[in-house]
């Protein structure tokens, strides 16, 4: 995995070099550059407020730079009616933004990928019952862990929904977080077999005083077996 961010204030996933083959993950401050949009993308945010157009363009500009690093031509990344981004053939990817940061993950080497950056503290304790399972609630050591858990679920959703079209419930997805190792695993416990792909996701997490960044990616499958080269 190529990690593109040299801002010392950013959540840092530079140590994940061996994870996720042929994958570029980029993070940048939204106000650090002017993002460019293709006409079809610009049309999708033509009536949005300027801050929304900036975040939309910033994440797409990072993603296009990543396409170039992977040897692909720069292409539009329009939005589907369900809001999922559409990637050019041969690539999968995911976008995220919060108040200050835009993030993009683009890959030619995994089956699906999701990325999420969050401002810490967004999930207040009164919401824990809605978004976390009982087991997860029992393991939440502090606010950083709660933010990381929530972000991991968002990254899992972004990796899985474009692949399956399914919307798993928060309580059907359980995250096992290892903050010391900056990793997480996901487990699906609901009734829809299509969501079993969630069990194959490998997650990464990085936390700063203000933000949390998570990535969830699934290796390619060959004859029902996960390719060794595709495993983080
Ligand atoms: C879609 C969702 C994940 C976006 O997350 P967010 O923290 O609000 O916002 P972020 O900035 O991190 O991400 C926004 C980006 O997600 C992407 N996105 C939106 N819908 C998506 C979908 N259905 N599938 C994949 N990616 C999607 C888009 O690229 C979007 O950016 P863009 O509109 O500029 O293209 C969130 O709104 C949501 O629906 N969460 C619920 C997830 C859920 O149900 N989880 C259950 C357990 S897995």
Give residue 117's pLDDT band: very low, low, confident or very high (50, 70, 90). very high
Provide mean pLDDT across the span 3-13.
93
Q: Is 60 in the pocket of ligand 1 (CB under 6 A)?
A: no
pLDDT > 50? residue 227: no
Provide mean pLDDT across the span 38-59.
97
Burial class (CB in 10 A: 0-12, 13-18, 19+), 6: exposed
> Residue 232 and residue 201: Cα distance in Å, rounded?
10
Domains and their CATH numbers in the chain: 2-230 (3.90.470.20)
Question: How many CB atoms are located within 10 Å of the residue 24 CB?
Answer: 23
For 65, the token pair is 């730079």
By most ligand atoms within 8 Å of CB, the mutation choice from 61, 86, 96, 97 for ligand 1 is 96
Contact 104, 63 (CB under 8 A): yes
At 16 the pLDDT is 79
Residues 137-149: tens digit of each pLDDT: 999 999 999 999 9
Report the nearest-CA residue for atom 9 of ligand 1. 96
Burial class (CB in 10 A: 0-12, 13-18, 19+), 99: exposed
At 220 the pLDDT is 66
For 146, the token pair is 């709660």
At 226 the pLDDT is 42
Contact 94, 104 (CB under 8 A): yes
The separation between the first and the last C-alpha atoms of the chain, rounded to the nearest angstrom, is 9
Q: Which residue has the tokens 């969630």?
A: 198
Give residue 18's pLDDT band: very low, low, confident or very high (50, 70, 90). confident
- Which among 210, 153, 193, 160 has a CA at the least distance from the CA of 177? 153
The phi and psi torsions of 107 (rounded to 5 degrees) equal: -145, 140
154 CA → ligand 1 middle, Å: 7
- List all residues 6 or more positions away from 177 whose beta carbon is below 8 Å from its beta carbon: 139, 145, 148, 149, 152, 183, 184, 205
pTM over 0.85: yes
Q: Is 157 in the pocket of ligand 1 (CB under 6 A)?
A: yes
For 162, the token pair is 């474009």
Q: Is 159 in the pocket of ligand 1 (CB under 6 A)?
A: no
> Residue 113 and residue 214: Cα distance in Å, rounded?
11
Instruction: Indicate the SS3 state at residue 34.
Output: coil
Provide mean pLDDT across the span 135-161.
96
> Residue 19 and residue 3: Cα distance in Å, rounded?
11
- Which among 187, 192, 181 has a CA at the least distance from the CA of 232? 181
The phi and psi torsions of 156 (rounded to 5 degrees) equal: -60, -45
198 CA → ligand 1 middle, Å: 16
């Amino acid at each position: 995995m190529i990690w593109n961010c040299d801002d010392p204030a950013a959540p840092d996933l530079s140590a994940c070099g061996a994870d996720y083959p042929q994958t570029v993950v980029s993070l940048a401050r939204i106000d650090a550059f002017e993002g460019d949009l293709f006409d079809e993308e610009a049309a999708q945010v033509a009536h949005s407020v300027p801050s929304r157009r900036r975040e939309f363009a910033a994440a797409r500009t990072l993603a296009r730079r990543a396409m170039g690093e992977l040897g692909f031509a720069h292409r539009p990344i329009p939005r589907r009616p369900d809001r999922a981004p559409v990637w050019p053939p041969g690539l999968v990817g995911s976008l995220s933004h919060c108040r200050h940061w835009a993030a993009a993950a683009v890959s030619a080497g995994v089956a699906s990928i999701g990325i999420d950056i969050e401002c810490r503290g967004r999930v207040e304790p009164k919401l824990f019952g809605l978004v976390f399972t009982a087991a997860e609630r029992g393991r939440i050591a502090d606010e950083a862990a709660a933010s990381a858990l929530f972000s991991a679920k968002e990254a899992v959703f972004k990796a899985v929904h474009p692949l399956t079209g399914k919307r798993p419930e928060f309580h059907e997805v359980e995250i096992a977080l290892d903050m010391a190792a900056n990793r997480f695993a996901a487990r699906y416990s609901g009734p829809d077999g299509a969501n079993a792909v969630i069990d194959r996701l490998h997650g990464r997490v990085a936390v700063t005083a203000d933000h949390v960044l998570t990535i969830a990616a699934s290796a390619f499958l060959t004859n029902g077996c996960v390719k060794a080269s595709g495993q983080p």
